[in-house]
């Protein structure tokens, strides 16, 4: 009797055995339906045991026609589960997110013209037949032809139209890699050539595409993709982006280059689109997929190349549910797929740089901007020396530069990574700070919606008229600026200027993003005031002044990557200026003009900064020179949280090269009523930290009401 182990997309420790009924033949990776308790579940055949005793096992119910999971995909799932210290079913759940894509349907009925022409071919009928040369739904046909449904029915009866049934999910149009490309600069051509060579040779080859902002990394990607499509006509390419806001621009450039819209995968496409993408990816027909981090878990039939744009971006790290870093997992997936992977950035992460320096990744350099564009000139505004006026946030130096830019009919970007009007609201009588009821965070004032909002949980309330603690009327004051407040200040200063805010509040979906970006590109906006959403990717040729309102924001807090992140963010933002023939400049407001990251920006000396940052991190064994993990405990009461933390502490065992700090409440000690405790774990590179964490986790139990989660390579320390 044949028995198979079936992995289910559930947090179970292992795959379950089922007997294969005589009418089925099953192989590794087949997608099947099996009984579990009272229900039927979808799972994947993880092992086949040909001659086993299956007499006391339940039988597999059925097999889906959907293609079997490739060996590379199965290996990747097992690897990710082990590395992330999570049950493999949890990773499988990321892959099996579109169960509707497994079956054959849905189908739609369409009308299409036959070769038969009715004798009485009046004008209306002829129009209907003309519109029905391609299959079209009946209702839509009547509508476009401007006739009643009776005429369509009559033509069907006469045999001049026939009805066909067609799957709703059509294949994506194949991209044409032979369409003419823009001529590449020598540097671009060299980089694309080396990537293409690796794709042709096959096997795992990782690259770092290290190119300053505006150097034309996208053109290199396009050329590399074209070469991959040609060299491996049956294989697929995945492009990962950190931010949905960037997809539209990239999709448009791929469309232009290959004459077909690529498949997309991100949270903003609907279920039907996801089903189509999933199905076409699994079948190997979707050749180019552009997506956010979870696209990494699509069931590609065979990948030849992965591109990770803005690889340094911390949005690639997912911090809830399955905690993974999409860049790191993409490298792992490329390894199993024996694919080429290109990590592109103007400010590569320390992790990636270290890999390039050690020779594990091949480094491709684009050291200057494309064409005549020059990198912007960066200078600091010392806020101690040139402070803004009372209750204002723009220093006279920045205001002056803005006036000059507006006079020259050029555009301005003011950057402040804070949504809303003011980050804190407090009572000037009693000092009470407005806080979320169940979360340890200050409420952010939003003037446009006139609400106080918790950005962590989405909780919001109307701004009260009086202080809820002391009752003082008019006691509540807004402290500090958000983008709305900067917009108010700019409007006051430059009443004639067209000023807009670009944040996730004003551009909440790709369409809104596209609209705002379009207006900026067409010169309909003079001053754009934005959060990190504007920092990346966009290309505004007439933008010549970037003002950073508060460079010090990211420097606070206990994050070991604070300096690196500030550097990356600010050089991305500054990089928006002067991307065409007009030179750009960036003015950065700070209280710490001596800060190394800021000095490096002014000097344009990235490498000196990285060098200093490396030495600092290497000295304390911080990532990427050592490994890090976090263990989080969440409970409904402080007592339960402390008891679970104690149990975890008691289960700790000494291990060479491993250090554990905690338990301690993290800065956000409560989220939605959940009390939090945290351990931070650091080890040397040689230690298998995943194995240590797994062994530790097995060593203690907590009540069902307590949540324990492990975060390998944590990026958030809140
Ligand atoms: P990056 O992603 O490296 O910041 P982009 O790919 O956005 O840079 O390119 C910057 C600008 O230069 C864009 O406007 C792009 O169209 C232009 N550009 C880059 N390479 C070429 C090329 N080979 N031919 C024409 N224009 C190019």
Instruction: Please report the DSSP string for 309-330 in residue order.
Output: TTTT-GGGEE-SSS-EEHHHHH
Q: Note whether residue 175 is domain-resident.
A: no
Q: What is the CATH number of the domain that holds 691?
A: 3.30.70
Q: Are 125 and 207 within one domain?
A: no
> Is residue 436 one of the residues assigned to a domain?
no
Name which residue sits closest to atom 14 of ligand 1, judged by CA.
539
Domain check: are 263 and 303 in the same one? yes
Mean pLDDT computed over 695-706: 96
Q: Could you tell me if 318 and 293 are in contact, meaning their C-beta atoms sit under 8 angstroms apart?
A: yes
Q: Which candidate, 379, 377, 378, 397, places its Cα nearest to that of 387?
A: 397
Q: Give yes or no: residues 410 and 542 share one domain.
A: yes
Distance 370 CA to ligand 1 centre (A): 6
Residues 82, 162, single domain; the answer is no
Q: State the total domains in the chain.
A: 5
pLDDT at 149: 86
pLDDT in tens, 578-620: 877 788 999 999 999 998 889 988 988 888 888 888 888 888 8
Q: Tell me the pLDDT tens digit for each residue of 174-187.
A: 999 999 989 999 99
Atom of ligand 1 nearest to the CA of 213: 4
Q: How high is the pLDDT of residue 283?
A: 93
Is 424 among the domain residues? no
- CATH number for the domain harbouring residue 47: 3.40.1440.60
Distance (Å) from CA 67 to ligand 1 centroid:
39
Asked if residue 219 has its Cβ within 6 Å of ligand 1, the reply is: yes
Which alpha helices (H) appear in 582-637, and where do they start and end? Answer: 596-603, 606-620
**Pair 267, 296 in one domain:** yes
The model's pLDDT over 245-281, given as tens digits with 9 standing for 90+, comes to 778 889 999 999 999 999 999 988 888 899 999 999 9
Query: Is 557's pLDDT higher than 70?
Result: no
> In this structure, is residue 451 part of a structural domain?
no
Query: What is the C-alpha to C-alpha distance for residues 548 and 557, in angstroms, rounded to an integer?
Result: 20
Say yes or no: CB of residue 215 within 6 Å of ligand 1: yes
The pLDDT score that the predictor gives to residue 509 is 80
3-state SS class at 12: coil
Residue 507 has a pLDDT of: 84
Q: Kindly state whether residue 437 falls inside one of the protein's structural domains.
A: no
Bridge partner list, 306: 238, 341
On the question of pLDDT at 368 being above 90, the answer is: no
Least confident of 229-243, 289-303, 387-401, 532-546: 532-546
Count the alpha carbons within 13 Å of 674 in the hemisphere toward its beta carbon: 17
Q: Is the CB of 211 under 6 A from ligand 1?
A: yes
Q: Has residue 338 been placed in a domain? A: yes
Q: For residue 519, give the 3-state DSSP assignment.
A: helix
Confidence label for 313 from pLDDT (cuts 50, 70 and 90): very high
- Whether 717 is in a domain gets the answer no
Give the residue numbers spanning the domain of 589: 377-418+481-615
Residues paired with residue 630 on neighbouring β-strands, in sequence order: 680, 711
Q: Coil, helix or strand for 522? A: coil
User: 339 and 362: one domain?
Assistant: yes
Q: How far is CA 339 from CA 139, 198, 306, 342, 702, in A?
A: 46, 9, 7, 10, 42
How much is the pTM? 0.88
**Residue 213 beta carbon below 6 angstroms from any ligand 1 atom:** yes
User: Are residues 383 and 325 part of one domain?
Assistant: no
User: What is the mean pLDDT of the segment spanning 387-398?
Assistant: 95
Distance CA 409, CA 404 (A): 9
pLDDT score of 536 more than 80: no
* Gap from CA of 580 to ligand 1 centroid (Å): 10
Residue 184 near ligand 1, beta carbon < 6 Å: yes
Better pLDDT: 536 or 312: 312
Using the predicted structure, report yes or no on whether residue 474 has a pLDDT greater than 90.
no
Q: Nearest 5 degrees, angle CA 250-CA 252-CA 255?
A: 110
Segment 412-421 shows an average pLDDT of 94
pLDDT of residue 256: 95
Q: What is the pLDDT of residue 1?
A: 79
Mutate to test the pocket of ligand 1, among 184, 216, 348 (most ligand atoms within 8 A of CB): 216
My answer on whether 520 and 387 are in the same domain is: yes
Alpha carbons 660 and 628: distance in angstroms, whole number: 10
The Cα 485–Cα 395 span in angstroms is 14
The span from the CA of 516 to the CA of 171, in Å, is: 31
- Is 475 among the domain residues? no
Identify whether residues 196 and 314 lie together within a single domain.
yes
Write down which residue in 567, 586, 615 finishes a domain. Answer: 615
Residues 348 and 386 in one domain: no
Among 214, 250, 254, which residue has the most ligand 1 atoms within 8 Å of its CB, making it the best to mutate? Answer: 214
Q: Are residues 198 and 228 in the same domain?
A: yes
**Phi/psi zone of residue 690: left (φ > 0), alpha (ψ -120 to 50 degrees), beta?**
alpha
User: How many angstroms separate the alpha carbon of residue 282 from the centre of ligand 1?
Assistant: 32
Instruction: Answer yes or no: do 198 and 317 share one domain.
Output: yes
Residue 102 pLDDT > 90: no
- Determine if ligand 1 sits within 6 Å of the CB of residue 572: no
Alpha carbons 436 and 440: distance in angstroms, whole number: 7
pLDDT(358) > 70: yes
């Amino acid at each position: 009797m044949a028995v198979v182990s079936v992995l289910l997309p559930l947090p179970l420790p292992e795959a379950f055995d089922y007997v294969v009924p005589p009418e089925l033949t099953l192989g590794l990776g087949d997608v099947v339906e099996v009984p579990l308790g009272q229900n039927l579940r979808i799972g994947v055949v993880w092992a086949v045991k040909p001659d086993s005793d299956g007499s006391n096992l339940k039988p597999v119910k059925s097999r889906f026609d959907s293609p079997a999971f490739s060996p590379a995909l199965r290996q990747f799932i097992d690897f990710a589960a082990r590395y992330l210290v999570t049950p493999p079913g949890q990773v499988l759940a990321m892959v099996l997110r579109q169960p509707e894509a497994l079956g054959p349907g849905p189908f739609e009925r369409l009308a299409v013209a036959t070769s038969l022409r009715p004798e009485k071919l009046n004008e209306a009928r002829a129009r209907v037949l003309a519109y029905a040369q391609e299959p079209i739904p009946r209702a839509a046909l009547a509508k476009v032809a401007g006739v009643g449904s009776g005429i369509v029915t009559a033509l069907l009866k006469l045999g001049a139209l026939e009805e066909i049934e067609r799957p709703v999910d059509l294949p994506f149009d194949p991209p044409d890699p032979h369409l003419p490309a823009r001529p590449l600069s020598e540097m671009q051509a060299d980089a694309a050539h080396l990537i293409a060579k690796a794709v042709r040779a096959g096997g795992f080859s990782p690259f770092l595409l290290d190119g300053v902002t505006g150097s034309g990394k996208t053109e290199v990607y396009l050329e590399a993709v074209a070469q991959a499509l040609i060299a491996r006509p049956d294989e697929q390419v995945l492009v990962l982006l950190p931010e949905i806001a960037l997809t539209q621009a990239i999709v448009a450039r791929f469309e232009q280059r290959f004459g077909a819209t690529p498949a997309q995968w991100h949270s903003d496409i609907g279920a039907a689109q996801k089903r189509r993408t999933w199905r076409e990816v699994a079948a190997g027909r979707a050749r180019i997929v552009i997506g956010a981090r979870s696209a990494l878990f699509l069931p590609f039939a065979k990948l030849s190349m992965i591109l990770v744009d803005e690889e340094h971006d911390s949005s690639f790290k997912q911090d809830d549910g399955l905690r993974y870093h999409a860049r790191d997992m993409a490298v792992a997936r490329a390894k199993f797929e024996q694919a080429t992977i290109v990590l592109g950035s103007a400010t590569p992460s320390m992790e990636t740089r270290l890999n390039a320096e050690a020779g594990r990744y091949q480094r491709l350099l684009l050291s200057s901007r494309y064409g005549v564009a020059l990198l912007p000139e960066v200078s600091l505004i010392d806020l101690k020396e040139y402070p803004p006026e009372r209750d204002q946030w723009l220093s006279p130096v920045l205001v002056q530069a803005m006036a000059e830019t507006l006079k020259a009919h050029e555009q301005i970007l003011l950057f402040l990574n804070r949504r809303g009007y003011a980050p804190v609201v407090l009572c000037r009588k009693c000092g009470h700070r407005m806080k979320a009821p169940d979360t340890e965070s200050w409420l952010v004032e939003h003037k446009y919606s006139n609400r106080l909002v918790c950005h962590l949980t989405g909780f919001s309330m109307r701004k009260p008229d009086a202080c809820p603690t002391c009752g003082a009327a008019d006691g509540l004051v807004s402290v500090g600026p958000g983008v709305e407040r900067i917009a108010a200040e700019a409007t006051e200063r430059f009443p004639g200027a067209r000023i807009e805010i670009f944040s996730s509040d004003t551009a909440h979906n790709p369409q809104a993003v596209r609209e705002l970006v379009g207006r900026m590109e067409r010169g309909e906006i003079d001053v754009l005031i934005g959060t990190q959403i504007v920092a990346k990717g966009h290309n505004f040729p007439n933008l010549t002044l970037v003002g950073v309102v508060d460079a010090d924001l990211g420097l606070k807090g206990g994050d070991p990557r604070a300096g690196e992140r500030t550097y990356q963010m600010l050089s991305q933002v500054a990089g928006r200026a002067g991307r065409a023939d007009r030179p750009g400049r960036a003015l950065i407001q700070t209280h710490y003009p001596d800060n190394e990251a800021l000095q490096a920006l002014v000097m344009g000396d990235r490498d000196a900064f990285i060098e200093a940052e490396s030495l600092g991190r290497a000295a304390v064994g911080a990532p990427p020179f050592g490994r890090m993990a976090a263990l989080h405990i969440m409970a409904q009461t402080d007592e339960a949280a402390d008891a679970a933390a104690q149990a975890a502490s008691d289960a700790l065992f000494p291990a060479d090269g491993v250090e554990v700090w905690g338990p301690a409440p993290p800065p956000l000690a409560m989220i939605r009523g959940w009390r939090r405790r945290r351990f931070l774990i650091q080890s040397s590179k040689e230690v298998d930290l995943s194995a240590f964490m797994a062994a530790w986790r097995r060593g203690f139990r907590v009540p069902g009401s307590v949540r324990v989660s492990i975060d390998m390579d944590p990026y958030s320390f809140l």
